[in-house]
Structure 1
Amino acid sequence: MKKDLIKKIEGILYNYKTSLVEINNLKIDLEMMKEEYRGITSINYGEKSSPTNKFNSSVENEVIKREEMIVQLENNIRYKDAMYRKVTNSFDILDEREYRFIKEFYFEKCSYMRVSEIMNMSYSYVYDYKMAVLNKISPLIFTSNLP
């Protein structure tokens, strides 16, 4: 397996526990953004009028900007949620020992030495076991060429 793919999977696994909280917080941000109406203010005649026919309204500009931000936030939420569900689904193919390894090493952030003690395996075997587990779940997480 490629080194960059391993790093990507490990990053996802290390942050797995906080991913759901992050997704929920992004949903709250989205909800708040949709409810905001800051740009509706009175007309300001202090601005110099434009000699062209270009029409710029601060309200329209803000609405357009906010809509773009909302779309970007929705896409971000969709991507993070899909990755979270893919990782969760990939755990279904792991046996109890493999899942426990993932839990101890990535979720609890135990060292190689501590994992070897907990799981009754040699220190030198922990790295090989980790690679075997990552190789098992990686095709399920990265099924397409998404970023």
Structure 2
Amino acid sequence: MNKKRIKELEEILIKYKTIDLKLENIEDRMNVLMEDIKIVGVSYEQKGSPTNSFSSNVENEVIRRAEQNSEELANLAKVKNELLLFKNVVYRALNTLTQNELDIITMRYLHKEKKSWVEIGMILGFEKDYCCKKRKSILTKLEPMLVAI
């Protein structure tokens, strides 16, 4: 596996660590949009047209905002589904790892603070060089499962 592909796989794992936060933010935005349209009273200053049709600035604004919000909600739903697919693919791939492999990947890519190879080796009782070599074999093992991303 070449260095470019290793870097891509590492970026996937780093992105995975923040996926839940991104999903929560999308959910929050979707909730705000759904609650955004508020019905406001009609002003008596508005008059109907000679054809007795009635056009309210408030109604027009509510309709415009509802259309805008619907469009944004659809876009957010699409992004949310893509993120959920990403999360599920990576989760299933990580579940194929042994406990030692998962520990190495978790400490290196999934913790808030990225641990150095020396720290990982000390915690797991391995040499730094072993952890570095193991990383490449782990990423090689994960690659076919993460090809869909």
The interval holding the TM-score normalised by the smaller chain is 0.7 to 0.9
CA contact (8 A) 1:86 1:141 kept: yes
Instruction: Answer yes or no: is 1:139 the counterpart of 2:130.
Output: no
Shift of 1:122: 2.7
Match of 1:124 in 2: 129
Instruction: Answer yes or no: is 1:110 the counterpart of 2:115.
Output: yes
Instruction: Answer yes or no: is 1:29 the counterpart of 2:29.
Output: yes
Change in 2 beyond 3 A, CA 1:34/1:105: same
Residue 96 (structure 2) aligned to one of 90, 93, 98: 93
CA contact (8 A) 2:104 2:131 kept: no
Change in 2 beyond 3 A, CA 1:65/1:7: farther
What SS does structure 1 have at the residue aligned with 2:18? Answer: helix
- 1: CA distance, partners of 2:122 / 2:36: 53
Could you tell me which amino acid in structure 1 is paired with residue 140 of structure 2?
N
Shift of 1:141: 2.2
Question: Structure 1 vs Structure 2: percent identity of aligned residues?
Answer: 20
Residue 65 (structure 1) aligned to one of 65, 68, 74: 68
Output the TM-score relative to the length of structure 2: 0.72
Which ranges of structure 1 fall in alignment gaps of 5 or more residues? 46-56
Shift of 1:3: 4.2
Shift of 1:78: 0.8
- 1: CA distance, partners of 2:89 / 2:126: 28
- 2: CA distance, partners of 1:139 / 1:39: 52
What SS does structure 1 have at the residue aligned with 2:95? Answer: helix
RMSD: 2.7
Could you tell me which amino acid in structure 2 is paired with residue 122 of structure 1?
E
What SS does structure 2 have at the residue aligned with 1:121? Answer: coil
> For this pair of structures, how many residues does the alignment match?
133
CA contact (8 A) 1:26 1:73 kept: yes
CA contact (8 A) 1:116 1:126 kept: yes
- 1: CA distance, partners of 2:3 / 2:64: 44
Output the TM-score relative to the length of structure 1: 0.73
Could you tell me which amino acid in structure 2 is paired with residue 118 of structure 1?
I
CA contact (8 A) 1:39 1:58 kept: no
Could you tell me which amino acid in structure 2 is paired with residue 100 of structure 1?
D
CA contact (8 A) 1:83 1:141 kept: no
Change in 2 beyond 3 A, CA 1:3/1:99: same
Which ranges of structure 2 fall in alignment gaps of 5 or more residues? 47-59
